[in-house]
Amino acid sequence: MSADLSPIDKAKFAAARRATDYVEDGMRVGLGTGSTAAWLVKCLGEMVREDGLRLTGVPTSSRTAALAREVGIKVVSLDEARWLDLTIDGADEYDSNLNLIKGGGGALLQEKIVATASDQMVVIADISKQVDTLGAFPLPVEVIPFGWQTTKVLIEETLIGLDVLGRDTSLRLNGERPYVTDEGNYILDLHLNRIGNARQLSLVLNQIPGVVENGLFIDVCDAVVIGYGDGRVEVR
């Protein structure tokens, strides 16, 4: 599967394939969203089809649900599964405490719910996602469409008192229209550059009316499988 891949895709594929080691027969597994998670879903599909792996997948987006079905994975909703053995997902950034920024692909809400409902969460990422301090990647915040411009102002005002380096926020677009999440919400991307206290920021953001959820995953991730462009893998 990995022949002719670019170094970045080789890294993503290597991390995804190694993460399948965490999957045991009969498990209920949360399936992440994004290009790295797509490699995982393809690898798991191959194991289902060729090795007879019994797996129940709970996808974190409509995109992942479609791909999982396509490759032969049994898909159920989180309400049907209730609790999961494991979730494997990508990330936009991870730090040395395994705290994350997620939501670059717009699926942070389902991703956070599914990861939190899992005994274990494993992140798969290429080494470029590793940072000393979170925040260079714009922090996605899912907001209700009603009054989103007011919510945006409230977020910007709230940021004044916090340990961040930037305060610009932008509405994520899909062409000329707002990007709409699977839940029918919008996403504001917060250009903070550096997040000094991610735990505090996450708590404060989620108290603002109109905010549904933010892309900081604090104390959720148990391990990161890191892929390199030459196909090497390291686990943290």
Is residue 30 near ligand 5RP by the rule CB under 6 A?
no
CB nearer to ligand 5RP: give 29 or 91.
Answer: 91
* C-beta closer to ligand 5RP: residue 23 or 107: 107
| Catalytic residue (choose from 111, 142, 176, 183) | 111
Active site annotation includes 157: no
The rounded distance, in Å, linking the Cα atoms of 72 and 60 is 17
Distance of closest approach, residue 11 Cβ to ligand 5RP, in angstroms: 10
Using rule CB under 6 A, residue 220 touches ligand 5RP: no
Residue from 5, 9, 27, 35 touching ligand 5RP (CB under 6 A): that is 35
Find out whether 120 and 87 touch, Cβ atoms under 8 Å. Answer: yes
Q: What angle do CA 222, 225, 226 make, to 5 degrees?
A: 135
Kindly indicate which of the ranges 45-53, 102-110, 167-175, 224-232 contains the residues binding ligand 5RP, using the contact rule CB under 6 A: 102-110
Q: Which two tokens stand for residue 193?
A: 């550059």
Answer for the pair 12, 2: CB distance below 8 angstroms, yes or no. Answer: no
Tokens (6 digits) for 197: 């206290």
The torsion angles phi and psi of 158, rounded to 5 degrees, stand at -65, -35
61/154 with CB nearer ligand 5RP: 61
The verdict on 57 binding ligand 5RP (CB under 6 A) reads: no
Catalytic residues: 111
Residue numbers at the binding site for ligand 5RP (CB under 6 A):
32-37, 89-92, 102-108, 111
